[in-house]
Amino acid sequence: MKENKSYYIETFGCQMNIADSEVVAAVLYDAGYSQVQQPEAADLVLLNTCAVRDNAEQRVWNKLQHFKGLKKKHKPLKIGILGCMAQRVGNGFEQSKVVDFIAGPDSYRNLPELIKQTSSEAFASALELSRTETYEALLPRRIDQSKLSGFVSITRGCNNFCSYCIVPYTRGRERSRNPGDVLNEIDDLQQKGYKEITLLGQNVNSYHQEEDGQSTGFTGLLTSIATQFPKLRIRFTTSHPKDISDALIETIAGHSNICNHIHLPVQSGSNDVLKIMNRGYTREWYLDRIHKIKTVIPGCGLSTDVFAGFPGETEADHKASMSLMQQVKFDSAFMFRYSERPGTYAAKHLKDDVPEETKIRRLNELITLQNQLSLESNKNVTGKHFDILIEGKSKRSDKDVFGRTETNKLVIVPDNNYKPGNIIKVIIGSYTSATLFGKAI
């Protein structure tokens, strides 16, 4: 039987979670639920959560306080926690008295059932992790408003077990979707008018599928996509430095529709730290990969993740992270301070011994350095020509529009009746560390 109810969903954390919210939207749509944009108008509020750092979890607890008030005013409202934090905190949510049900990342097919269970007032949970669930044959329902750039998840879970990371525990073992399913989903996006897709996986390079005696790896999948969809801009994230191959780098260089941008999280520039993190590569290996990328794909956009204050990180280790950043000259970076995650190897075996003030100071040093590097990187492209994909009006002025280069730089240009989805040629005139300003040529 179809429900005639409405739901509101809010997504926290990574792009993978945005893709998962689209899976949830498809499941709920099939069960008769309609999506609303205001929690006040909903019968059901869903928070799709992230557990990667404590501050991501705090944001969710704060949100729950807000919804507690809403629930007091509107008793039938049900609140569900989805995603990594549901998986990690589990029945801890029952005590909050606000949450009606929780569902981990592999339980979204069960959502309609789970919601029904809550009508008997009981707290309901579905936390089974699966070795096989890839939401096969389930076409995600696009919930972003732009209808321009879509996420396509190609692998789920992670087998790497970096010692600081909660993901293998919250998302389970790695599995890949079958190539036919992936290609269908991209075809669907193209037919809906999308101009860009981003292939998603915790470690996209380890994509692997056997079908009818044929095996497909990431490079093979990427090649098929680039060949079948010559008009789409293709991006992917996240690559792991230990297995980004020469073949992959050459494939990116060989297809003009695969964007020249690689996000390659380094995490630390110190070999001692990388070893205890269980990253599976050294500083030298990482720098060799960067060298290969810069040689084969000149001008390739490069970004990274790096964090300060891992257990035992010395001042020399921290300086090694800074010198690596300086050597690579990343265009941009996501920077964090270490947050101990219960249940991980680091939480069990390593003392979180870098004082909070030191973590903050080191993080600020990383940020200051990256701001300089981003500024330099933008300075280096002034006077250069790029194709940019227009995304919409500039947030500062409606006389301007913004778009992205294939290297993932944000460019603002005066509007000339451009529509989202147009690709225009621009020359870069000026810059800040975060933005380029150009004009059409």
Give me the residues that bind ligand SF4 (CB under 6 A), please: 13-14, 16-17, 50-52, 83-84, 166-167, 170-171
In whole angstroms, how close is the CB of 48 to ligand SF4 at the nearest point? 8
For the bound state, the minimum distance from the C-beta of residue 167 to ligand SF4, rounded and expressed in Å, comes to: 5
Q: Report the nearest approach of ligand SF4 to the CB of residue 342 (Å).
A: 13
| Structure token digits, residue 254 | 């060989």
Phi-psi region of 146 (alpha: psi -120 to 50; beta: other; left: phi over 0): alpha
Among 307, 418, 431, 437, binds ligand 5AD (CB under 6 A): 307
Choose the contact partner of 339 out of ligand 5AD, ligand SF4, none; CB within 5 to 8 A by kind. Answer: ligand 5AD
88 is a contact residue toward ligand 5AD (CB under 6 A)? no
Of the pair 3, 352, the CB lying nearest ligand 5AD is at: 352
Which of 78, 341, 359, 409 touches ligand 5AD (CB under 6 A)? 341
Report what 387 binds from ligand SF4, ligand 5AD, none; CB cut-off 5-8 Å by kind.
none
- 265: contact with ligand 5AD by CB under 6 A: yes
The total number of residues written for the chain in this structure: 441
Q: Which of 339, 371, 380, 433 binds ligand 5AD (CB under 6 A)?
A: 339
Sign for the pseudo-dihedral over CA of 236, 237, 238, 241: positive
Closest distance to ligand SF4 from the beta carbon of 85 (Å): 8
Task: Kindly give the pairing relationship between strand 400-404 and strand 385-393.
Answer: antiparallel
Residue type (1 letter), 104: G
In the complex, least distance from residue 262 CB atom to ligand SF4, rounded to whole angstroms: 19
d(CA 62, CA 340): 20
DSSP H stretches of helix in 37-143: 54-73, 84-89, 111-117
Buried residues in 345-383 as b, exposed as e (16+ CB within 10 A): bbeeebebebeeebbeebbebbeebbeebbeebbeebee
Closest distance of CB 208 from ligand 5AD, Å: 21
Rg from Cα positions in the chain: 22
Count residues binding ligand 5AD (CB under 6 A). Answer: 12
Residue closer to ligand 5AD by CB (options 7, 310) is: 310
CA-to-CA distance for 58 and 214, rounded, in angstroms?
A: 45
Q: 188 vs 365, which CB is nearer to ligand 5AD?
A: 365
Task: State in Å, rounded, how far the first CA of the chain is from the last one.
Answer: 57
What does the alpha-carbon distance between residue 12 and residue 369 come to, in Å, rounded to a whole number? 27
**Amino acid at residue number 171:** R
Three-state SS at 391: strand
Collapsed DSSP state (helix, strand, coil) of residue 438: strand
Residue 108 vs 338, nearer CB to ligand 5AD: 338
170 binds, among ligand 5AD, ligand SF4, none (CB under 5 to 8 A by kind): ligand SF4
Name 102's bridge partners: 81, 125
Q: Does residue 201 belong to the site contacting ligand 5AD (CB under 6 A)?
A: no
| Residue from 153, 267, 377, 407 in contact with ligand 5AD (CB under 6 A) | 267
The contact mask relative to ligand 5AD for 139-178 (x = CB under 6 A, - = no) is -------------------------xx-------------
**Does the CA dihedral 118-25-21-167 come out positive or negative?**
positive
Residues 6+ apart with CB under 8 A from 212: none
Give me the residues that bind ligand 5AD (CB under 6 A), please. 52-53, 164-165, 265, 267, 305, 307, 336, 338-339, 341
